[in-house]
Amino acid sequence: MGPVVSGCLYVIVAPSGAGKSSLVHALLEREPDIGLSISYTTRAPRPGEESGREYFFVTREEFAAMVTRGEFLEHAKVYGNLYGTSRLWIEKTRAEGSDVLLEIDWQGARAVKKLFRDMTYIYILPPSIEVLRERLVKRGKDTKEVIERRLAEAREDLKHVHEADYVIINEDFSVALTDLQSVVRALRVTASRQLRLHAQLIS
């Protein structure tokens, strides 16, 4: 049996409405061995959401206590709500050799990069701000004011795209999904990773 090599860490960032969650869900159906990190949040569950599936829903007091105990890899305030990523779960899962995927914002990605220099940063973008507006309106989850706030945040997000390793434009969903899966599979067979996984064969 070969040596255990730390699993890959994929960090996926996108403005709200760009289709990130749908792409991640489809990717995990194709690549079920990837572990999805479930974030903690203080926002209220949306209809149909369950704690432990989409997010772990906690109070602000519970969230603050977790911050004090140092349980988060990163945490940030987004649209007035708090979000945090479990550091211990990520470290344990990767140490077992499994890949881990994070869905966070650009601020969180920057914080994760400081601790995991080998992370792969993937940015999902809509083809235009106009298309993003149409998608936000069509999904019918937000008020007009919230949509405008999300669009303003998206314009701010665009200033940080250059920090990513890969950028995928989600114009055609099937093409974007293929691009995302291609990145994941390519990273698993980099020379440095294969040399460690198959050291006996190669030596």
Question: How far, in Å, are 24, 47, 128, 149 from residue 141 at the CA level?
Answer: 20, 10, 20, 13
H or E segment to which residue 19 belongs:
none
Q: Comparing C-alpha atoms, which of 89, 81, 88 is closest to residue 105?
A: 81
Which pair of tokens denotes residue 40?
């903690």
Of 38-42, 44-48, 163-167, 194-198, the least confident:
194-198
Whether 1 shows a pLDDT value over 50: the answer reads no
Tell me: the pLDDT tens digits for 42-57? 999 988 999 988 899 9
Look up the CATH superfamily of 9-37+98-202: P-loop containing nucleotide triphosphate hydrolases (3.40.50.300)
Dist CA 60 CA 54 (whole Å): 18
What pTM value is reported for the model?
Answer: 0.81
